[in-house]
Amino acid sequence: MEALLIRYGYALLFLGVALEGEAFLLAASYMAHLGLFSLPWVIAVAIAANTAADQVYYLMARTRGRAWLERRFGQHPRYKKVLGLMSRHGNWLLLFSRFAFGFRIIIPAACGALGMPGLRFTLINLATSIVWAAPTALLGFYLGEAAARIFTGLERYEFTLLLGLLATGAVVVFLRHIRRAGWVEDLRMADVHMLIPVLIGAMGALNLVTALLPRSQHSLRVLESWLPLEVIQPSRSLMLFSGIALLQVTRGFARRKEQAWYVACIALAVSLLAHVTHGLDLHHSFVAGLLLAYLLSFRGRFYARSDPASLRLGFLTAPVLAGAVMVYGYIGLKQLAGQFTWQAEATPLSEAFRDGILILAPGVDPRTRHAAYYLGSLQIAGWIARFYLLALFLRPVILRDRQEAPAGRVRAIFNEHSRHSLSAFAVQVDKHHYLVAEGRALVAFATHGSVAITCGDALAADEDFDSSVREYLELCSKNGWTGCFYEVAESRLPAYRVSGLRALKIAEEAVIELKEFGLAGNKRANLRAMVNKTAKTGMLVRRYNRSRQPDAGVDEQLEAISQEWLAEKRLGELGFTIGRFSLEALEKVPAFVGAVGDRIEAFCSWLPYRQGEAVVLDLMRERNTAPAGSMDFLLAHSLLQLQSAGYKEASLANAPLANVADPKGTLDRGVALLFENLNSFYGYKNLFQFKKKFAPRWEGRYLIYPKGTDLLTITYALARVHSSGGLIRLLLGR
């Protein structure tokens, strides 16, 4: 039966080292210290796993060539640096690649793409694995013993440690504010928000220490008098899991990730209960409760999305991992059934679920050393699966999953061919970027189901435009997609009609020539009246340059305005051709705020295009209680400041269904119905009247599609790419 343990346990170790590296190797080394694994076997498996993983990267790049390497890693910030080092010090770079954090995958792939001989790579790769695996495993083995001694002596300092962490965080915030403002009484909510991620991490560390420390016998006797043993026993495992979860989400929490908020809420709720059942640690439960109350009160602050591809992989992998753990548990428990003492109604299948999937105390007692080792390996397999899924759910957005073209090339094509305002949205990272016309042009698109939708026209020179359209349609045909073009310019319609496509007018774009913009004259009399009326409230407009002088107070107000505005619209953030609010995005674009005194009433931001000569309105949001005409005042004065800054043209973006003729057919009317529903949330018809006051030049924008029967699926796909809630939320979110 020992062979069964070695077979499954070391197989899990092999996969873990190949995927993650140090974390699995250190954990396995500590298990070897506890007697669950053999240290020589741990080192051997780690060497084999690391060697095999790097060989895969080498062979993939060797087979596909340098073009694949460019597509896969070309946008990586260290890509060019690695190529330069490889040309001069390839052998030495490979030898120490396992210690080069951030380069581990690129280096073996570069060796394959650049033609390093296979035998030389294999020998150096094997030496690299030995140099890395042996000292790392020994470190985990011997530090495991030291960690056990440290944790044993921490019990009496536990509460002091918590107070110390809280005090340290408070001092950091205090010093930061003193340096900025000089007076304690000026502390604002922004400082409290900055402290919370530190407290979340401290709570995670406290949970880990508490889970590893022995419980007070007096507390256990009190608990046993009013709680059943089944409730008390699992608290240590739950606390360990919640502690690791809180530590793992701390970084994402500081970045305001939505998934981190969900994980933190669950982990804090578990902490609150687990500390009570651990030994009546009511003061710890109180801290967890306060942090949980904060998260629930400030839910709107956490809006950043995790990597969509990783989320999908996590949801797909979860049942696979659960099935693998269940199979491993069932086979082992059935084979070793005679070496366990079984509680009533316990079966191999139920115990595999209880020990491997749920975090509960085992319903079996091992009677031999082999059985104890196996039971430990089953629980470890469950923990590895949980940690891997947690890492997937919290992984930040990975640009290479969104951008097939190198980021530098995308930016260069944008600078050269961004004629229309939608190109500013086309280069954002929520689109796929496909190089056409032998790399001279670019098509930006998003997909949903079987539909691929471009964001405006292809970014291409006139001579390359027709071929760019054809290549994109060929890509769609190859992948089984229905290809369409969204909000294209009227001047490009002949090129689409040559390809046999149909056109449906869906919007008008409001464009202003800044050199002639002003508030004087009859054509902007209504705008001038609103601006003059609002000026009496004392409102002033100024540019907010967040990249140079970030202001936590301004940031807090902008977030509050955005949340209030979205709540009124009852839909949440849209996307694709509409800007999404984030403080980080404001650092890269011209942004303006309209304020009465220190109170910001409205703000707007603009995206540059056409080599910095033109801008398009990205976001405009105001408070519900803002003075009448605040947005007119803000945009008018921001346009005047953009005019002074040297910009030549400004687009107020599109007004859907503006000046659009009556739809000709039933399916065309279906598309119009979609925009009618959007109008009930975002007020597009009112938006058209609002923009009309600025006396812009109107330019038609069209939806290009293959045939009428495709409009239904295209309409649904448009709703999905604009809103994460999709068509159902659009229609039912009233």
Residue pLDDT, tens place only, 371-390: 888 888 887 888 788 777 77
Mean pLDDT across the stretch 342-355? 86
Q: CA 706, 712, 713, 718 torsion: positive or negative?
A: positive
Q: At what angle do helices 282-297 and 189-212 cross, to 10 degrees?
A: 140
Which pLDDT score, from 0 to 100, does residue 88 have?
A: 61
**pLDDT confidence of 224, banded at 50, 70, 90?**
very low
Bridge partner list, 453:
446, 484
Which pLDDT score, from 0 to 100, does residue 106 have?
A: 67
Which pLDDT score, from 0 to 100, does residue 66 have?
A: 60
How does pLDDT run across 492-505, given as a tens digit for each residue?
Answer: 999 998 888 999 88
CB 681 within 8 A of CB 471: no
Mean pLDDT across the stretch 51-74? 69
Which pLDDT score, from 0 to 100, does residue 541 have?
A: 95
Percent above pLDDT 70 for the chain: 66
Which tokens hold the place of 400?
Answer: 């290479």
How does pLDDT run across 692-717, given as a tens digit for each residue?
Answer: 899 999 999 999 998 877 888 888 88
How does pLDDT run across 397-438, given as a tens digit for each residue?
Answer: 443 445 578 888 999 999 999 999 999 999 988 888 999 999
Which pLDDT score, from 0 to 100, does residue 629 have?
A: 92
pLDDT beyond 60 at 510: yes
Which pLDDT score, from 0 to 100, does residue 681 have?
A: 44
How does pLDDT run across 119-168, given as a tens digit for each residue?
Answer: 878 888 788 888 878 887 877 777 665 555 554 454 444 445 555 555 55
Which pLDDT score, from 0 to 100, does residue 679 have?
A: 45
- Averaged pLDDT score across all residues of the chain: 75
Which pLDDT score, from 0 to 100, does residue 384 have?
A: 82
Percent above pLDDT 90 for the chain: 23
Higher-confidence residue of 342 and 574: namely 342
Computed on alpha carbons and rounded to an integer, the radius of gyration of the chain in Å comes to: 30
How does pLDDT run across 520-532, given as a tens digit for each residue?
Answer: 888 899 999 999 9
Which pLDDT score, from 0 to 100, does residue 165 have?
A: 52
Q: Quick one: which of 70, 66, 109, 64 has its CA closest to 90?
A: 109
Which pLDDT score, from 0 to 100, does residue 14 have?
A: 74
Which pLDDT score, from 0 to 100, does residue 442 have?
A: 94
**pLDDT confidence of 283, banded at 50, 70, 90?**
low
**pLDDT confidence of 280, banded at 50, 70, 90?**
very low
Which pLDDT score, from 0 to 100, does residue 543 have?
A: 94
Which pLDDT score, from 0 to 100, does residue 250 have?
A: 73
* Architecture field, domain 508-699: 3-Layer(aba) Sandwich (3.40)
Which tokens hold the place of 322?
Answer: 């659960």
pLDDT beyond 90 at 573: no
Which pLDDT score, from 0 to 100, does residue 587 have?
A: 86
Which pLDDT score, from 0 to 100, does residue 268 have?
A: 81
Residues belonging to the chain: 734
What's the rounded Cα separation, in Å, for the pair 94 and 679? 58
**In angstroms, what CA-CA distances link 560 with 301, 486, 605?**
9, 32, 16
Query: Per mean pLDDT, which range of 13-27, 445-459, 618-632, 662-676 is the poorest?
Result: 662-676
Which pLDDT score, from 0 to 100, does residue 730 have?
A: 44
User: Which residue blocks in 596-696 are alpha helix, DSSP H?
Assistant: 630-644, 666-682, 684-692
What's the rounded Cα separation, in Å, for the pair 589 and 638? 13
**In angstroms, what CA-CA distances link 649 with 201, 204, 414, 605, 690?**
48, 52, 17, 15, 19
- Give first-to-last CA distance, the chain, whole Å: 62
Residue type, 501: L
Q: Are strands 502-513 and 540-543 parallel, antiparallel or unpaired?
A: unpaired
How does pLDDT run across 162-197, given as a tens digit for each residue?
Answer: 555 555 555 555 554 444 443 333 345 555 666 777
Mean pLDDT across the stretch 33-42? 75
Which tokens hold the place of 218?
Answer: 């007096």
Using a cut of 0.85, tell me whether the model's pTM lies above it: no
